[in-house]
Every structure is written in C-alpha cells, then in structure tokens.
Structure 1
Amino acid sequence: MSQDRRLDVLRAIVQDYVETREPVGSRILVERHSLGVSPATIRNDMAALEEEGLIAQPHTSAGRVPTDKGYRLFVDQISTLKPLSMAERRAIQSLLDGAVDLDDVVERTVRLLAQLTHQVAVVQYPSLRRSALRHLELVPLSPQRLLVVIITDTGRVEQRSVETAAEIDPGVIAELRARLNVICAGRRLPAISHTLASLPEQFAPEHRPLVEAVADVLVDTLRLETEERIVMAGTANLARSDLDFTRTIGPVLEALEEQVVMLRLFSEMEEDAVAVRIGAENHHEGLAEASVVTSIYGGAAPSEGVARLGVLGPTRMDYPGTMAAVRAVARYISRILAG
C-alpha cells in the first residue's frame, strides 16, 4: 500500500468525521474524495490504518473514526497553515485595536478566540518571570511608608508597599528611583535580582535599610508563584460538543475550573509556534477526550514569549482552522504588547 495514499485516506477520514460527526465508510470516501483508486483498494487501506491503530470502528457495521494516534499523525502532517480569511483578520484587528490596557487586551483576546474557533478559549496573563521591566515608580504614602509600582513591558502593573522605621528622605527616593530605572529598565525580571543585591552599598549607611527593603520587595515580587493566572471564555461551546464525549463533559469542566491544571498543561506544552496536545497526551484523566491547541505570545520568537494562549475542545476538532486562528491571534497580541 502506498504510504502517501494511506495518508490521503486518513486525511479524508479525519476531515469527514470532523465535518459530519458520523463514522466514515469506504463508499463515502469514494463519493466525496478523488483518491484515484477503487473502493476495494480503499477498504484495504482502511483495514491497514485500523491495524496500525490510526482509525477504529465504534460498532459493528459502522464506518471508521480517527483515534488519538490518527489525529496526531494528521496534525503532524500539516506542514503549512492556511491564512485566515479577510473577515477573520478584520475581526481580530477591530476587536483588539480598541483595548486600553493589559486587562482589556486579555479579556478581548479570550472572547475573540472563543468566537473564531467555537471552542473554550484560554489566555494566560503575562508571567512576571518572563517579562522585562519598563518602568519602576516610588511613591511616598506617608513619612514612613512607600509604594513601589512595577510596570512591565507587557503592560502588567504590580504594586507593593514598604514600611520603614526611620522617616523617608525625599532626596533618597529620587536617587533610588533613578538608579533602579537605569539598572532595571528593559531587562528580564529574573536577571535583575543579581544587580539589586549590590545596590544598598551605593548609598550612605543610614539609607541602606530603605534601599534593602525596596530591593527585597522587588525580588520577592519576581519570585512570586501565585501571580500566574488564566482567563477563560466559551464554556458554552463545550456544552454544544457534548455528543463528542463518550462520558459527560463534567470531567473536562472540572479540569478547566482548576486553574492549576491548565497552568501545568500550558507549562508542559512545546515551545513551538503552535503546539497541540491530543487526548491522553494531556496527562490528565479529565482531558482524555479533549485536545488543546496553544501558542506563545509576547515575543519575537517562541523562546522569548511571556505567556500562552489557546483553545480546548473535543478531539473531533478542526485542527487546521483552530491552529491558524490561535497562531494569528498570538501574533497580533504580540504586536500590540510590543507597541
């Protein structure tokens, strides 16, 4: 059997099953696809695909449906993603261009992804550990209390307060603010902690406790694990796909509600332009019948990204269309954050 023809038959089965939700038989393949061989040859090809575990027969006298292994081979064979339509590109631009801050960008992005893919959309907030500092501000709140404002290049803002035993000198605040912005601006946050360690030595002994307190607050903020969070939209889309799950969608919904599950899954995804996990590849029982398509955003290359966005849906998914939408939205939001 020709390897290329076998892939053509598998591709046709995946496409038809995604479109119709009905098991695909050899007669349907002959009628809908120009495979250039007889029905008997196609039946032989389907038997070989089934033997390899790429397709399965859900019940006697039925056609075949793709397995997780079959979907994986199908996805791995997608060499190029089709561009989005002009209408889809306009929808992305019109919705995201009106965003006023990071929270607005994230909220608009998650709604847009759910609309484009008809799946559950998930957007992770930019990670502090993968962001660069744009500006740092020190704001006196009282003679002995200081507000530290951290603004990252992704538009994320974190605020921390510092209490001191001695009265704060305005001149020291101005000098400390200037020094911090010089040594920290444009640098990834994890790298800043090494520079901050030697900063107190640059000030007079009586001012070092304040400098040390501010430096400690910055380092503690950068080390925070609890700041990771995600936003979701389109759960109703999952409910409309209930027939695609042999069990109920309850386990999937429970996994979505536990943000730690999705954050762990996002952290395990490959740093590709578009990464796909199918069924059991998700390593979570509740997601055994679901697929996740993600992309990293916020950097010129995946390794420079600051967070992930993506969609979750049943394994019976329009993979080419979903992958194209996820990639396009990730690229657009990256340009917004870079601007």
Structure 2
Amino acid sequence: MLSARQLLIFKCIVEEFVETAEPVGSKTLMTKYMLPYSSATIRNEMSFLEENGYLEKTHTSSGRVPSTQGYRFYVNTLMQPNVDDDVKNQVAMILGDRHRSLNEIIQESCQILSELTHLTTVALGPNSDYERLQNITLVPLTEHSVTAIIVTDKGHVENRIFKVKNNAYLEDLTSCVNVMNDLLDGTPINQVAYRLERDVRPILSARIKEHEVLFNAFLESFMKFANSNVYFSGKENMLYQPEYNDVNKLRQLVSAFENSQSWKSLEPIAIEEGVSVRIGSESPIEDLSDVSVISASFKTGNESKGSISVIGPTRMPYEKVVSLVEYISKSLETVLLSNDEDDE
C-alpha cells in the first residue's frame, strides 16, 4: 500500500512522462509541480517506487519512467475518467446524422476517436455471420463503366466497378445481377460464396457468354465483403510518437498495420463489459510489446457486436483515452440500436 505522499509523487511522474516522453527527475517534480517535499525526500520515495516495481530507470538518464506495473496501478487506482461537454456535443452532432449506413457510422466513430486522442483507432464491425444479403444494384458511372452496389440488411455496403465494353456486356452484367438477387436475397454473407458456386454458377454458365469473368468478379467481392469489417483511422499518428524514432520499431508497426487479420485478435477483448485496458506485453498484437490497447464493445443488433479500440504507446494519456473510448462506444451503440429499431 502506497502512502499519500508516494501516490502524489507517482501520479506526477506518470503525467509528466506522458506529456514530455522524457524521464522525470526530482528537480522537475519540485519546480513544475511545486511538491512540498525536499529533493532528498522525493528521491527517496522515487527509489522506493522503483524498488517496488512502479518505476524504472532508463539507461540514458538519472530520471525515472513508469513501468508496465506502474501504468497498470495508475489505470486501476488513480484515474478519474471524465468527458467534457464540448466533446459530448461534438460526438452527438457527428453521430446524429441518421441517414448513413452501419459501416459509415462505425468509420465516422473511428475517425472521431482518432482525432480526439491523436492516436490510432481500429474498429471491428459486426461479424458477417449476422448479416444477410439484401440486394445488388447497378449504377452507371460513365458511358463505359458501372458500379455494382452490394448492400446487407445491416446497411453494410461494398462496391465493385465494371468496365463496360459494349451493350452485350452490360446486358450480361444485368442478367447476372438479376439472377443473384433472385437466388441470394436473405442469404447470410458468410454463405454467399458457397451459394454462388452451388446455385448461381450453373444458371450463369447456361445463360451468359462471359459468365466466368463476371462470376469470379462477384465471388471476389463477396469474399472481401465477409472479411472487410476492420476499420482504421489515424495510422499516421503513431509515426509521430517519439517511441517510433527507432527504425526497427517503426518497421514492426507498419507491418502490423498492413496485416488486417492481426487486428481481429482484438475481438475477444471487447467481449468484456466496460472498457478493457491492455498494457505492454498484455497487448494481443504480436511483435508490439510496447503498445497499449484500450477497447470497448458495442452492440449493433440483438445478437451482433462490434468493438472500437485505441492503439498507442504505453506512454499514453490513459485517463483521457479510457474516458473517450467508453463514451464513444456507448454513443455508437445507442445510435446503431436506434437505427436497428427504426428499420424493424
């Protein structure tokens, strides 16, 4: 159990290091935070905090920095999460537009969170097991191109652009879409590829000259659809963190961002109620042991869930980030469930 003096010194060290990314010494604590203790007393308490695992000494400075254990103690004991009214109004205004699809709302929330935290945000939309194909619509773009818009019952949208060679090709494309709408309406997205092969392909091969090209194009689109529930915002924010001045660390970070499958490991975290905080080695992202991941889940329907997470260095403003993740995930859930009820 830490004394009140030790708690105050430790809290000041965490907040100073989060702000400056520089190891903290007793002189800074005395002058900037005007602590009512002597330099010797502060140094003794810092030594105690280091011996007990709350602080670490760096190789390049006599100052201390918080350890993983220290950050965990700070998160569990000293944080006082709060979101100010200006931010609440901003979030309400942005999420208040009810004429958008589910993936647009999730992407927008991802962007808001990234802008407010100046860190990287990743959101996982609902698993495609819970989505069903609603319809495919062809929309002309130019004289020689059309886009096929694929929509689910949850408002998830994917586009596929086709170059139109001639009228015969456009007629084949239209026939292809009509067949799929007739046979696949209401099919769960994760079963569409199977149904395309079993039910749609034989009909297309009998009716349409270029059936193989069109079939493969739509098959690719649906495969992408079933795996496209990962949304990013603010990837570049991590590049400005001092921790990533190291080229090797930067390379690992960029590699992790390029592998969207690795982010799906965030999904189990968000099953927990409330906000999940994973610090350093607790992070589920392989090869990135010096990052923290703060996540919360949100319902998108009666059975389906998504999650939203902030990824940053272990030196992040936990109080602010936890507050924002919790508030935005709850606001997002309210909007999505409200839209779901309106659809019904």
TM-score by length of 1: 0.68
Structure-2 change in CA distance of 1:24 and 1:323 (3 Å): same
The C-alpha deviation readout for 1:129-177, integer Å capped at 9, x for no partner, is 5x5x8x99799xxxxxxxxx8624xx4479xxxxxxxxxxxxxx9xxx9
Q: Describe how 1:98-117 pairs up with structure 2 within 5 A.
A: 98=97, 100-117=100-117
**Alpha carbon RMSD of aligned pairs, Å?**
3.8
Letter in 2 for 1:82: N
Aligned to 1:250: 251
Give the superposition deviation at 1:127. 2.3
- Check the 8 A contact 1:229/1:259 in 2, yes or no: no
Identity of aligned residues (%): 29
Given the superposition, is the C-alpha separation of residues 227 and 52 from structure 1 closer, same or farther in structure 2, using an over 3 Å criterion? same
Partner of 2:17: 17
Local SS of the residue matching 1:286 = coil
8 Å contact kept, 1:119–1:312: yes
1:282 Cα offset (Å): 1.4
Amino acid at match of 1:294: S
User: Within 5 Å, which residues of 2 pair with 1:56-135?
Assistant: 56-59=56-59, 61-78=61-78, 80-83=80-83, 85-98=84-97, 100-129=100-129
SS in 1 for 2:108: helix
Q: What is the aligned residue count?
A: 272
Q: 1:267-287: per-residue Cα shift (whole Å, max 9, x none)?
A: 245613111111111154432
**Aligned residue for 1:307?**
306
For residue 234 of structure 1, what is the aligned residue in structure 2?
234
Aligned CA distance change for structure 1 residues 226 and 102 (closer, same or farther; 3 Å): closer
Please state how far the C-alpha of 1:120 moved relative to its aligned partner. 0.6
| Equivalence for 2:266 | 265
Change (3 A) 1:257 1:16: same
Deviation at 1:53, TM superposition (A): 2.3
Aligned equivalents of 2:303, 2:31: Cα separation in 1: 47
Residue 151, structure 1, aligned to residue 140, structure 2: no
Q: 1:90: Cα distance to partner?
A: 2.2
Match of 1:145 in 2: none
Is the aligned partner of 1:336 residue 2:338? no
List per-residue Cα deviations over 1:93-152 (Å, max 9, x = no partner). Answer: 2222225111211221111111011001111112245x5x8x99799xxxxxxxxx8624
Where structure 2 has 5 or more consecutive residues not aligned to the other structure, the ranges are 137-150, 159-181, 189-198, 200-224, 339-344
Structure-2 change in CA distance of 1:322 and 1:245 (3 Å) = farther
Instruction: For 1:70 and 1:269, locate their aligned partners in 2 and report how far apart those are by CA, in whole Å.
Output: 23
